[in-house]
Chain A
């Protein structure tokens, strides 16, 4: 009997991309079964999922530190890359077919082409250039979503006349980069942002005692350093905003473009990124254990982490987009609550994950499902339950996340009990509301 087994290299690629593919499929599926109201969210999940999938085709080698293993095998790099492209494009096409049949409207089909091209060429290129599995989804994730509004604004022909050559360039560049890819030690998570000029050499060379800073300040600095990707995204948003303002007098229709609304969505995604980075990034860097062994109580370290994360969220996910919107969008209570909820939930998920990309993927899928649930509950109970239950669930999540963060292993039974407690919190809120009403 002849064997029909796939070559191990192909099987490995499929297995590596399976989590991103399955998470995207689930997220789109949840949006599809929730009805037309959620189809927009499903489209967002599809786009981000596709770009993440493409990014993971190379990114998983960085996450698992297996780039040296892969590149030291006696096989042509061309074959390695072609295998990766073949597997990625097949999975991207299945996602595209599923999304087109379920959540995408006929006029949103250009999202499909944009997502596939971004996933195949741009996301892997960014991943290799930044040596960071997160760079692809974070920097290229939103790109296809700009296609429909920009097409409305400038015409689809203009948009694609710019986009297609850009994708062609990124295809050539990603080929060239992979052919010359170097297995540099470490995960390559360091996204180097411009740094302030260093202090004088005399201070750097001084003994540790002379350089001593307050540990709380050093912990805050460490937390901010973990969030370099967040700052990069915030900077990118600022550039987009400034470009839009500069072009407004020149491009007819641009002033009517709902950039402020997009800014709100950007803030929500940034909140998820901030939460996802907070705990998983440390675990992925391998610094968590010795960090927790420092002579400072784990809960104090955690409090500093949570404080920094929430402050950063308040500034970059809430205040920053509102400030840029300059009065176009008013301060909305539920918006602030949702931002805190998103950060807290992604921080909880991050405390259970060994890599930031995984935390981001799981957070995206889970939060979409929770969003649907929230809308359903709000509909059933007149929108009051979230306001009663959410703060309680947020506190529970932060408490449980501390437990997960400082634990070396994540037993399923513990996670199950945590989820039960959270469900109980939500149910309690519902009972309180019902008894009052």
Chain B
């Protein structure tokens, strides 16, 4: 097995391009994930998230650019890379003739480590019947089974592509709060989660860092705490309509005498300008990751419509 540098980023993508025929699914993406992080990978439908993930796993070959996982090229050191990660795809499929038990045994047979206690615990938590055939499982149950097969080998990197789609709200919450958090707590310095999702709000407390991807390119990469400091929402209430107020191109939502201003790093300047108009009240709050996602990808004029 190849020696792997402990300091190497878990994922290192430089100028990744992947084309399907004449369509650019990923077009010059750059990304770096450090060990021990819970990394969010956000983007709209067709932004190139799944294609990027598949390039990481050598399930697709990049048209150009460089992909390294644990400092290794996944195409050249496929087994070394895959031994240290687990993947839950967006569309989960199992061999229809296998039962839940057989599927778990099948996946465990490829792994050097398989935590039977975790398996038992998660089976109980998800209430999966070991004797049931996978062809008889619902979409949500298949996802639950895929999560168990991903977590039991205790990989260093957990790659999740829309992991909570198809799960009911209770299981979804349980999965995010308990399963993912517990997985990372097992070895916080080494265990990394790379999650692609639309349900950004549900991962709010877990994400340490994120990249927003659009049209196959990274448009924003930020540490979650930095993002919350930079992206703020300022509410101001005026006694009269503040006609001619110049907020330097900030996104403004007007509701009568109330203004909601979304700022990106220039909160102090905007607050000063608002205060110059003597508002009745003025409050600030950090944007959620979902709001940051929307404000980054949605054109300003759509946000500003009152």
Docked-complex contact B93 and A183, CB < 8 angstroms: no
Is B111 part of the binding interface, using a Cβ–Cβ cutoff of 8 Å? yes
Within 8 A of A (CB), among B233-256: none
For A181-220 the 0/1 string (1 means CB < 8 A from B) is: 0111100000000000000000000000000000000000
Residue-wise, chain A 267-292 has the 8 Å CB interface mask toward B (1 for contact) of 00000000000000000000000000
Contact of A71 with B95 at beta-carbon distance under 8 Å, contacts A8-B109, A9-B109, A185-B50 already known: no
B108's nearest neighbour on chain A, judged by CB, is A8
Contacts of A7 in B (CB 8 A): 109
Nearest chain-A residue to B55 (Cβ)? A182
Partner of A74, one of B60, B105, B111: B111
Specify which chain A residues have a CB less than 8 angstroms from the CB of B93 in the assembled complex. 64-66, 68-69
A contact residues around B109 at 8 Å (CB)? 7-9
Q: Please, how many angstroms separate the alpha-carbon atoms of A7 and B102 in the complex?
A: 12
- B-side contacts of A183, CB under 8 Å: 54, 59-60
- Across the interface, name the chain A residue whose C-beta is closest to B109: A8
CB-based contact B95/A72 at 8 Å: no
Majority SS at the chain B contact face: loop
Residues of chain B within 8 A of A222, CB atoms compared:
none
Cβ contact within 8 Å between A8 and B59: no
In the complex, what residue of chain A is closest to B112 when comparing beta carbons? Answer: A74
Contacting residues of chain A (60-102) with chain B, CB-CB under 8 angstroms? 64-66, 68-69, 71-77
B89 contact set on A, CB distance < 8 A: 68-69, 72
**Chain A, residue nearest B60 (CB):** A182
Q: Are A12 and B105 in contact (CB under 8 A)?
A: no
Taking a contact as CB atoms closer than 8 A, the residue among B50, B91, B102, B110 that contacts A75 in the complex is B110
B78 on the interface (CB 8 Å rule)?
A: yes
- Which residue on chain A has the smallest CB distance to residue B75? A180
Flag if A12 contacts B50 (CB, 8 Å): no
The complex places the Cα of A185 from the Cα of B23 at a distance, in Å, of 15
CB-based nearest B residue for A183: B59
Contact A71 B59, beta carbon cutoff 8 Å: yes
Cα distance A311–B79 in the bound complex, in angstroms: 52
Nearest-CB distance from B51 to chain A (Å)?
9
Which residue from chain A places its CB closest to the CB of B159 in the assembled complex? A72
Q: How far is the CB of B111 from chain A (nearest CB, A)?
A: 7
Whether a CB of chain B sits under 8 angstroms from the CB of A244 is no
The answer to the question of B61 belonging to the interface, with a C-beta cut-off of 8 Å to chain A, is yes
Partner of B78, one of A64, A76, A184, A185: A76
1/0 contact string of A1-35 vs chain B (CB within 8 Å): 00000011100100110000000000000000000
**Docked complex Cα distance between A196 and B229 (Å):** 56
- Which residues of B are found within 8 Å of A73, using beta-carbon distances? 82, 107, 110
| Residues of A close to B82: CB separation below 8 A | 72-75
A64-B95 in contact given A12-B106, A183-B54, A183-B60 (Cβ < 8 Å): yes
> How many chain B residues touch the partner (CB < 8 A)?
29
> How distant is A68 from chain B, measured CB to nearest CB, in Å?
5
**Separation of A66 and B96 alpha carbons in the complex (Å):** 10
Tell which of B83, B94, B102, B105 touches A66, judged by Cβ atoms closer than 8 Å.
Answer: B94
User: CA A12 – CA B60 in complex, angstroms?
Assistant: 24
Question: A16 to chain B: which residues have CB within 8 Å?
Answer: 95, 97
Q: Which residues of chain B from 72 to 96 have any CB-CB distance to chain A below 8 Å in the complex? A: 78-79, 82-84, 87, 89, 91, 93-96
What's the nearest-Cβ distance from chain B to residue A415, in Å? 18
Say yes or no: A72 contacts B78, CB within 8 Å: no
A182 vs B91: C-alpha distance in the bound complex, in angstroms? 16
Chain B hits for A184, CB < 8 A: 20, 60
Q: Do A72 and B59 have beta carbons less than 8 Å apart?
A: yes
| Docked pose: A69 CA to B161 CA in angstroms | 13
Which residues of B have CB within 8 Å of A180?
A: 61
Q: Does B57 contact A (CB under 8 A)?
A: yes
Q: Are B111 and A182 in contact (CB under 8 A)?
A: no
For A69, the chain B residues whose CB sits under 8 A away are 89, 93-94
Nearest A residue to B91, CB-CB: A65
Inter-chain CA distance A9–B58, complex, in Å, is 20
B92 nearest CB neighbor, chain A only:
A69
Q: Tell me if A182 and B59 are in contact (CB < 8 A).
A: yes
**Cβ distance B47 to chain A, nearest Cβ, rounded Å:** 14
**Apart from A9-B106, A15-B98, A75-B79, what are 9 other A-B pairs with CB-CB below 8 Å?**
A8-B102, A12-B98, A15-B95, A65-B91, A65-B93, A66-B93, A71-B57, A71-B59, A74-B111
Measured CB to CB, the residues of A under 8 A from B are: 7-9, 12, 15-16, 64-66, 68-69, 71-77, 180, 182-185
* Selected A-B contacts with CB under 8 Å, 21 pairs: A7-B109, A8-B102, A8-B106, A9-B110, A64-B93, A64-B95, A65-B91, A68-B54, A68-B59, A68-B89, A69-B93, A71-B59, A72-B87, A74-B82, A74-B111, A75-B79, A75-B82, A182-B60, A182-B61, A185-B50, A185-B91
By Cβ-Cβ distance, the 8 closest A-B pairs, closest first, are A74-B82, A74-B83, A65-B93, A183-B59, A8-B109, A73-B110, A8-B106, A72-B87
